[in-house]
Structure 1
Amino acid sequence: MIEHGLKLITTEQDYEIDVAPENDVVSEIRALIKKHNLEAGDKLPSERKLSEKLGVSRNQIRAGIQKLEFYGIIETLPQSGSIITGIGVPSMNTMMKDVLDLDTPDFNALVETRVLIESQAVQMAAVRCTEESLKQLEMAHQNFVDCITNGLPSLIEDMKFHLAIVKASENTVLYGLMKIIVPDIIGHFNKEDICDRTQAIKLVSEHTDIVEAIKNKKSDDALEALNLHFAALRKYTKK
């Protein structure tokens, strides 16, 4: 694995006025890859270096990196930082351009779409959930619990749990749609600091109820548990 201790690149054409900070991060990484012909396995600059260069918070840097991670363009490894995946440079450039070209929806629209997707998916999951998808759901839930227990950031694990719910529906279209909106949801959560850490225990309990309903193949209970879980989120969007 090669770590490039290179000066970060900033080109006028890579930036637009009034773009979201995470898109600045995407543009910076895209310029870096193009300028230095970075390949699969090459390491990106640290969050600290990107933060200093772009003049934005590390949370905003993390949101941009998470966006690329969810699209499979980069991968973050424990103790190693973020590296480029092996999807190939031409495909990677196209995907990054597509990410930048996406309109940024308002948070209310994201919540409405998420609720529609998950409300359908959680009922389907209770009926269709396989042994493997249930195992993945329970693992995602446990990872979230571990983060809460150890006082670690839990937003990503929370979203992975909800992705696991949709994946358990065995509907690839719903899962694909959910993966598209997740990066923007994460960006809004980071920017607005929506997550209330004092509600951690309540969230764990609500996640547990959802898992148990799916495990017991009770679709009505699964939907009810999800609706209770989304109550605070719906309330926030009405402010």
Structure 2
Amino acid sequence: MDEDFGKLPVTAVVTRRIQEMIRSGEFPPDSKLPSQRVLSERLGVSRASLREALLTLETLGLIRTLPARGTFVAGERTRAPKAGQNWRHDARHSITEVFQTRLVIESEMCRLAAPEMTDAALTALEAAARTFEEAWRNGDLLAHVEADLAFHSQIADACPNGMLRLFYRSIHDVLTESQRVPIPNTEVSRMETSIAEHHAILAALRARDATEAARAMRTHIGNTAAIAGARLVQDGEADGA
């Protein structure tokens, strides 16, 4: 693998490499990918690293594995799964449970972080929000999700409650997956709204407005949950309404 990806983990490198093969047309829409044995040899990585990369790409909706047929690039004949069908942590937590937890934890962390925001932290958040938007417009879904993770993680890092920070880090794997899952079902109009929601969170944090920061985060997570197939009960709603 000749690209210079710095010190990224092997799985992240191979995931990016396959994404670029898809974006460049080397693997066109609806085409079948080589077998895992062939592809792992071609990329010079282990089968285990390749399988993890393929799972990530499938969660993002770039590829689809069909039983007894193989793995295909998503296209007109091979569409991405419906919302919630690409969640791979069901044995541990449902997608709804994860978003319910995010709604509680992240809105509170955002509220607590608001008065503590430094100029350096705000600059980092602005950079993450900018990359989040630019990567989406460029079709780089991996960079888009990484920027989304960075945005949310930087807010968590600014939270002065050490126990909340520790808990947030302890569920990093399911948080990461929950931010990938909505991608295949996200329409352009929804992504434009998501970009605006990030800017609303950032504006509230810049104003050190704890109440508005928490509200903006709740709105963002609630809207994202709906795209991911999770139904959250928000303030003022009756359960089952």
Letter in 2 for 1:133: A
1:111 to 2:99 alignment: yes
Tell me by how many angstroms 1:187 deviates: 3.0
Q: Deviations over 1:44-75 (max 9, x none)?
A: 474552899368574415699xxxxxxxxxxx
**What number of residue pairs does the alignment pair up?**
162
Using the alignment, how far apart are the partners of 1:145 and 1:42 within structure 2?
22
User: How has the CA–CA distance of structure 1 residues 225 and 161 changed in structure 2, closer, same or farther, with 3 Å as cutoff?
Assistant: same
Letter in 2 for 1:238: R
Using the alignment, how far apart are the partners of 1:212 and 1:192 within structure 2?
24
Alignment RMSD (CA, Å): 3.4
Aligned to 2:219: 228
Tell me by how many angstroms 1:221 deviates: 1.4
1:169 to 2:159 alignment: yes
Aligned to 1:130: 118
Aligned to 1:148: 136
Aligned to 1:25: none
Query: Which among 38, 47, 51 is matched to residue 53 of structure 1?
Result: 47
Aligned to 1:120: 108
Q: Is the 8 A contact 1:129 1:168 kept in 2?
A: yes
Given the two structures, how large is their TM-score scaled by the length of structure 1?
Answer: 0.56
Letter in 1 for 2:193: K
Using the alignment, how far apart are the partners of 2:155 and 2:8 within structure 1?
33
Q: Deviations over 1:136-195 (max 9, x none)?
A: 222221221221232211222112211111112233332222222232133355467565
Structure 1 gap segments, 5+ residues each: 4-40, 65-102
Using the alignment, how far apart are the partners of 2:206 and 2:194 within structure 1?
18
Given the two structures, how large is their TM-score scaled by the length of structure 2?
Answer: 0.55
Query: Relative to total residues, which structure has the larger helix share, 1 or 2?
Result: 1
**1:12-161 equivalence runs, <5 A:** 44=10, 46-47=14-15, 48-49=39-40, 53=47, 56=51, 58-60=53-55, 104-153=92-141, 154-161=144-151
Tell me by how many angstroms 1:220 deviates: 1.5
1:203 to 2:191 alignment: no
Using the alignment, how far apart are the partners of 1:201 and 1:170 within structure 2?
31
